């Protein structure tokens, strides 16, 4: 077989043989960033009222978590594809005297980006209407029952929430200080 113009033999599944006259040729290419980790930064846009751009995150990403940007758009943010990456702008302030803009709760199926259910749950109490996260029943079977853990910890903070087998609804409220059990 040929790889990058060089003849490569594969006598066994764990062995590659390259001709002794082949030369290494360095290449530069962009590795797609971890969109899951980038979403924590994007979640700051509506929460803090600041623009956020994570370099090299683009809508054509192969990672499902890029859908989280569209959820933030439904909450009132504006996403713009730029050369650097997706720029997420916070919602416009309701009035000029409000330092942090108001953003809206959503009802959303997160089955394609369920890792971000926790991120959305963390900012949901600050929305002006309830947020319902659906299609996430399978996250009960990860390293913990994530739906129950979200409800337990938000309730500990004084935030009203309701869980079903496949969803969680989080109501607006001001979290109070507490110790969170991870």
CB–CB of 41/54 below 8 Å? yes
Question: Would you call 115 a catalytic residue per the annotation?
Answer: yes
Tokens 């990672």 found at: 63
Output the DSSP codes for 126-137.
Answer: GSSS-EEEES-G
CB 70 within 8 A of CB 79: yes
For 12-32, the DSSP string reads ETTEEEE-TT--------PPP
Cα→Cα distances 102→35, 86, 95, 176, Å = 25, 21, 10, 20
Q: Per the residue annotation, which of 14, 109, 115, 166 is the catalytic one?
A: 115
CB 32 within 8 A of CB 61: yes
Could you give the residue numbers annotated as active site? 115
């Amino acid at each position: 077989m040929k790889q990058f113009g060089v003849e490569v033999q594969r006598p066994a599944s764990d062995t590659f043989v390259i001709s002794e006259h082949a030369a290494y040729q360095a290449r530069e290419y962009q590795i797609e960033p971890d969109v899951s980790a980038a979403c924590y930064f994007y979640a700051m846009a509506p929460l803090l009222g600041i623009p956020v751009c994570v370099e090299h995150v683009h809508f054509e990403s192969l990672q499902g978590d890029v859908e989280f940007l569209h959820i933030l758009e439904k909450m009132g943010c504006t996403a713009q594809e730029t050369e650097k990456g997706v720029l997420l702008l916070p919602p416009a302030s309701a009035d000029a005297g409000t330092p942090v803009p108001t953003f809206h709760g959503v009802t959303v199926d997160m089955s394609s980006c369920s890792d971000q259910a926790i991120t959305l749950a963390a900012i949901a109490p600050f929305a002006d209407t309830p947020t319902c996260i659906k299609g996430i029943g399978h996250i009960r079977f990860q390293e913990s029952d994530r739906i129950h853990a979200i409800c337990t910890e938000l309730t500990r903070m004084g935030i009203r929430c309701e869980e079903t087998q496949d969803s969680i609804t989080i109501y607006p409220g001001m979290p109070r200080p507490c110790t969170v059990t991870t």
